[in-house]
Chain A
C-alpha cells in the first residue's frame, strides 16, 4: 500500500515552497529600488512576504482539508 507522502501532495509542497524561495533569493532582493512609501526594496519585499506566506499557507491548508 502506498503511503500518502506528507499528506500535502504535489500542489501542497509547491504552495509551501513559493514563500520560502521568495525570501531565500537574497542576492535578488538585496537592493534599494523600487522604493515603496519611502521603504527600500530590501525591506518591503521581505515584509510583503509575511502576509503572502499566510496566503500560500491557506492554499496548502485547503489542499490538505480536501484530501481529508
Chain B
C-alpha cells in the first residue's frame, strides 16, 4: 500500500468533488431547462470549451490504453496520432454548421437535427439508439482506467475492499452530474488538465533521462515492433489497416454523442473554430503519452520484481502507471494516478449527459411523453444520466473487462454508420430518409458479421479486390457500403417518384 500516494490521490479527488458540486452556481442558469443542464446554456467561451472538448476526447482510458497499445502492439498502437491529426480538420469543416442549425431550432442532440431535417422520427430513433449503445461501453471503459490506478495504489483487486474506491468515485461522479449538469465536467476539466500536463511533462523528461535518451529507448525495441510490416505480394497488411483505422476513428469521434454535446455547449461557431486551432496541443501530449509505451518496454518494467504482479494482473495496461511507480516519489505517483482517475470522471460525466439527452429528447419525448414540459424533460434526463452511470458501473463490476473493450470497439463501428444521415444532412437534403434507414441497417448487419469473424476480438476485415488484399477498419468499409446503398435506394425512390423531401428545418439556418 502506497500511503503517501493514496493520501495525495484522495485529497485531489475530494477537491474536484467539491468543485463539481459548486459549479452548479457558475454562470448561473435555470437548471430546469435541458439546454441549461445538458448543454451548460450554450454559453461556454474559448477557454472552457478548450478544456471541455480536451477533457472529453482525451480520456483516462487514453492515458492507460495508448501506452498499453504501443507497449504491446508497437507501431500499430501509434495510430492514435494520425487519428487526432485528422480529427480537427474534419470537425472544423463540419461541426460549426451543425452548431448554427442546432441553435436556430434549439436542438440538443444530433438525432434532434435528423428528426427535423428528414421529418422522420424513425430515422432519429435509430440514430439515438446507436448513440446510446455506442456510449455505454465507452463509459464503462473509463472505469477500467480508474480500476488500474486504484490497483496501482495497492488496493486489493478483488472483493468489496478492492471495489469500494471505484464505487465511491462513481457515486460522487453521479451526484455532481445530477446536480450541476454539464457545468460540473467543464470546471473539473481545468483541474484535470493541469494534473495531466504536470504528469506527462515530468514523465517525458525524467524517464528518457534515466534511460539514457530517446536513441537508447528506440534501440531497445525490436525493429519489427517499431514499424508496420512492409507491403508484399499485393497484401497491404497492417499499413492499410493503420490508415483506415485512423481515418475511421476520426470520423467516428465527431459522431459520438459526447462530442456533439461538448460542441453544442460552446458559445458559437467562432469559439469552436478558434478552439480547434489550439486543440492539437492535446494531441501533442497524446503523442508523448504514446511514446511512454516504448519507455516501459526499454525499462523492462514487467521484469521488475516490484511491478511484476501488476503486469501479471493488468497486462500492458500497467505500462504508464508502472513508469510512475518505478521512477517517481510516492507523492508524485498520487498526482499522476489522480490525473488518470479525474480524467475518467470528466468524459464519463459528459457521456452520461449526452446519452441522457438522447434518451430524453429522441425516445422519451418523441415516443413516450410528447406533451412533457421543459422541467419534466430535464428531470427525466437527470434520472437517465444516473441510470446510465450505474449501468456502466455494474457492467465493470460484474463482467470481465474484455467485454467492455470489445463492445467499445463495436461501438465505434456502429456510431460511424450514423454519418450518412447526420453529416450529409448538414450539407444536402438529397437523401431519402427511408434509404438512409435501410442503408444504415445493411451496413450495421454487415459490420457485426465482419466483426464476428474474429469473435469480436479485432476491428479489421481483409478486403480482397482484383488480386489485392486490403485489410482495413470494418467501420470504414461498412460506411462505404452504407453510402453506396443510401445513394442507390435514394436514386431508385426518386426514379419511381416516391421519395420524401419533407424538411422541418429552416433553410435560413444553413446560411452561416
Does B bind A? yes
Please name all residues of chain A whose beta carbon is closer than 8 Å to the beta carbon of B230 when the two chains form the complex: 30
The DSSP consensus for interface residues of chain A is: helix
B216 and A20 form a contact (CB under 8 A): no
User: Bound complex: CA of A35 vs CA of B227, how far in Å?
Assistant: 14
Please name all residues of chain B whose beta carbon is closer than 8 Å to the beta carbon of A4 when the two chains form the complex: 511-512
Please name all residues of chain A whose beta carbon is closer than 8 Å to the beta carbon of B427 when the two chains form the complex: 6
Q: A24-B247, A42-B226 are in contact. Are A6 and B273 (CB under 8 A)?
A: no
Q: A43-B291, A46-B82 are in contact. Are A20 and B89 (CB under 8 A)?
A: yes
Interface residue? B126 (CB, 8 A): no
Beta-carbon nearest neighbor of B86 in chain A: A20
B88 and A57 form a contact (CB under 8 A): yes
Contacts beyond the supplied A7-B96, A43-B291: 10 A-B pairs with Cβ under 8 Å: A16-B92, A19-B85, A20-B90, A26-B242, A38-B214, A43-B218, A46-B78, A47-B287, A51-B280, A57-B277
Please name all residues of chain A whose beta carbon is closer than 8 Å to the beta carbon of B223 when the two chains form the complex: 32
B280 and A31 form a contact (CB under 8 A): no
B92 and A57 form a contact (CB under 8 A): yes
Residues of B in contact with A (beta carbons under 8 Å apart):
75, 78, 81-82, 84-86, 88-90, 92-93, 96-97, 213-218, 223, 226-228, 230-231, 239-240, 242-243, 246-247, 270, 273-274, 276-281, 283-284, 287-288, 291, 427, 510-512
A46 and B218 form a contact (CB under 8 A): no
Q: A3-B511, A20-B86, A43-B291 are in contact. Are A30 and B274 (CB under 8 A)?
A: no
A50 and B213 form a contact (CB under 8 A): no
Please name all residues of chain A whose beta carbon is closer than 8 Å to the beta carbon of B240 when the two chains form the complex: 26
Please provide the chain A residues from 18 to 39 with a CB less than 8 Å away from any CB of chain B in the complex: 19-20, 22-24, 26-27, 30-32, 35, 37-39
A19 and B81 form a contact (CB under 8 A): no
User: Bound complex: CA of A19 vs CA of B510, how far in Å?
Assistant: 27
A23 and B287 form a contact (CB under 8 A): no
The DSSP consensus for interface residues of chain B is: helix
B89 and A46 form a contact (CB under 8 A): no
Please name all residues of chain A whose beta carbon is closer than 8 Å to the beta carbon of B82 when the two chains form the complex: 23-24, 26, 46, 49
B273 and A46 form a contact (CB under 8 A): no
Q: A34 CB to closest chain B CB, in angstroms?
A: 13
Residues of A in contact with B (beta carbons under 8 Å apart):
3-4, 6-8, 12-13, 16-17, 19-20, 22-24, 26-27, 30-32, 35, 37-40, 42-43, 46-47, 49-51, 53-54, 56-58, 60-61, 64-65
Q: List 10 A-B contacts (CB under 8 A).
A: A13-B93, A19-B85, A24-B246, A38-B213, A50-B284, A53-B85, A53-B280, A60-B92, A61-B274, A61-B277
User: Bound complex: CA of A33 vs CA of B512, how far in Å?
Assistant: 46
Q: 5 closest Cβ contacts across the A-B interface?
A: A38-B215, A38-B214, A23-B82, A16-B89, A54-B280
B226 and A58 form a contact (CB under 8 A): no
Beta-carbon nearest neighbor of B288 in chain A: A47
Please name all residues of chain B whose beta carbon is closer than 8 Å to the beta carbon of A12 when the two chains form the complex: 93
A32 and B213 form a contact (CB under 8 A): no
B81 and A37 form a contact (CB under 8 A): no
Tell which of B96, B213, B239, B288 touches A27, judged by Cβ atoms closer than 8 Å.
Answer: B239
A23 and B86 form a contact (CB under 8 A): yes
Tell which of B75, B89, B228, B274 touches A53, judged by Cβ atoms closer than 8 Å.
Answer: B89
Q: B370 CB to closest chain A CB, in angstroms?
A: 33
Tell which of B89, B92, B214, B227 touches A30, judged by Cβ atoms closer than 8 Å.
Answer: B227
User: Bound complex: CA of A28 vs CA of B445, how far in Å?
Assistant: 35
Please name all residues of chain A whose beta carbon is closer than 8 Å to the beta carbon of B274 when the two chains form the complex: 61
Beta-carbon nearest neighbor of A67 in chain B: B512
B283 and A50 form a contact (CB under 8 A): yes
A30 and B276 form a contact (CB under 8 A): no
A16 and B218 form a contact (CB under 8 A): no
Q: A37 CB to closest chain B CB, in angstroms?
A: 6
Tell which of A32, A40, A47, A65 touches B81, judged by Cβ atoms closer than 8 Å.
Answer: A47
Please name all residues of chain B whose beta carbon is closer than 8 Å to the beta carbon of A20 when the two chains form the complex: 85-86, 89-90
B88 and A53 form a contact (CB under 8 A): yes
Tell which of B88, B214, B270, B281 touches A37, judged by Cβ atoms closer than 8 Å.
Answer: B214
